[in-house]
Amino acid sequence: MQNGFHPQNILRELNKRSLKDIQVSGKILSNFKKEGRVLYYVIDEAFLKEFELDSLRAALYVNELANIDDNSCW
């Protein structure tokens, strides 16, 4: 574009994920529990240690189970 603004480049950067991030998401998506219409995953000390996360970083995955069919996440 003439003004140097390239939306595709911005979107590409915004959607980048690290390999570690994908591995954490994969673990959550592979091991969540379902009770009725509620989906949840417990992040315990072992999980934090396995992925070298602290509780603040782990909290970034709070919406990993959101928007799966008509279920709620907790």
pLDDT at 1: 54
Whether 48 and 54 have beta carbons less than 8 Å apart is answered as yes
Cα separation, 74 vs 72, whole angstroms: 7
Average pLDDT by stretches of 10, the chain with 74 residues: 79 89 97 93 97 96 91 79
Question: What confidence score (pLDDT) does residue 13 get?
Answer: 83
Query: How much is the pLDDT for 29?
Result: 96
Question: Where are the chain's structural domains?
Answer: 27-66
Give residue 27's pLDDT: 98
pLDDT at residue 7 in the model: 87
- CA–CA distance, 46 with 41 (Å, rounded to integer): 13
